[in-house]
Amino acid sequence: MYWVIRWSDPKTGQDQAIVVEAESRTSAETTALKRGIPVVHLGEADDADIATAREANLLWRYTQEARWTCFGQPIGNMQLAFLMVCGVCTIGALLQSYGVLMPLTMLTSKM
């Protein structure tokens, strides 16, 4: 779960915010206190807060983002390899249907 922590900088007076990934409100507050951030407001982050924090590089996560995704869902290495093989086979079938590749025939031994 993502939590937004808001505070005012005492030197400049500017409002600041970060988004922290934590399991509970208490652990999010503990994370802020460990880093010396005075917590003024602590609440659940919405999509706009997460997007803003990601752009400003103020999104603190402890889980790694998925390396490969397909239709918005994370996929593994084997699934990625399978999808790539399917794509190559599709390209081969299309090229063969347009006559660019020679027809694939089974090798038969003549006796």
pTM: 0.58
pLDDT, mean over the chain: 88
Q: How confident is the model at residue 17 (pLDDT cuts 50, 70, 90)?
A: very high
Given this model, what pLDDT does residue 111 score? Answer: 58
Average of pLDDT values for 92-97? 90
Domain boundaries, the chain: 2-60, 66-98
**Span 22-57, pLDDT tens digits:** 999 999 999 999 988 889 999 999 999 999 999 999
- Nearest-angstrom CA–CA distance, 93 and 72: 27
Asked if 39 contacts 33 with a C-beta cutoff of 8 angstroms, the reply is: yes
